[in-house]
Structure 1
Amino acid sequence: MRVNGLDEKLDVEPWVSLLDALRERLGLTGPKKGCDQGACGACTVLADGVRINACLALAVQYAGKEITTIEGIATGDEPHPLQAAFVRHDGFQCGYCTSGQICSAVGMLAEHAAGMPSIVGAEELSEAEIRERMSGNLCRCGAYNGIVDAIKEVAS
């Protein structure tokens, strides 16, 4: 698979999750193991640009795919616009969920731009629309207002 722009060859058992392969075999510590059940979003990464819970995905399913973790979304020394906005808007406190939140936001903005509907159904990214689309990512510290403000800034 290709991970953060680099070709990686992994020899893993068929039951190894993508999260465990990224963390334990490739040493990428950005995606976090929160609940290990797909409920918290701390492990969110992008697979061919689509956000997924890496804890629920088997690594072998992603052979030949492009995987992007938080370590791979910046451009050189320049942070991704969402990373910079999270800093400006205090979109994190402890930081445990931040990598998943940012990867999810990158995927969410792409989904919205592609016209994928949500339950809210708003055409523009209102606060309610952002909160609905980001509802799979939990923040135990409650930094949701900063997260929403950061996403709204980048979306505009």
Structure 2
Amino acid sequence: MKVVVQRSKKAAVTVNNEVVGKIENGLMLLVGITHNDTEEDAKYTAEKVANLRIFENDEGKMTHSLIDVEGQALSVSQFTLYGDCSKGRRPNFMSAAKPDHALEIYEAFNRYLEEQGIKVETGRFGAMMDITFTNDGPVTLIVESK
């Protein structure tokens, strides 16, 4: 499991000109699932994301987590995170999980975030989505399951 974590001042995802998820102050999360990811991977990754100390204190040091700042998360499933660009010019997506498995693990990831008291908004799984956000910092990290 791979999650691109972007600290965000605001973020929104739109499908067919309809806003389906939006947040203020928190994290924009692009979530990739591979074939052998499990609920344990979802739990580990969600706990890691929720507790990353990437929000600044009054002195400008990153000491606070999403939980500490009572931030929100916009979680968007992103199978292209497992695109292999090592050969040729067209990415190979063979490492991305099949939709049924990916949806199960993606929903578990979001549920584990919510269990930690985080408000989670989502995109629409499998849809073409437009995402807009303001990256705060900018701060962008990649979190992977064990």
Structure with the largest fraction of helix: 1
Indicate the structure whose relative CO is greater, using CA pairs within 8 Å and at least 6 residues apart.
2
Do both proteins adopt the same fold according to a TM-score greater than 0.5, normalized to the shorter chain? Answer: no
- Coarse TM-score class (shorter-chain normalised): under 0.3
Q: TM-score, normalised by structure 2?
A: 0.26
Structure with the largest fraction of strand: 2
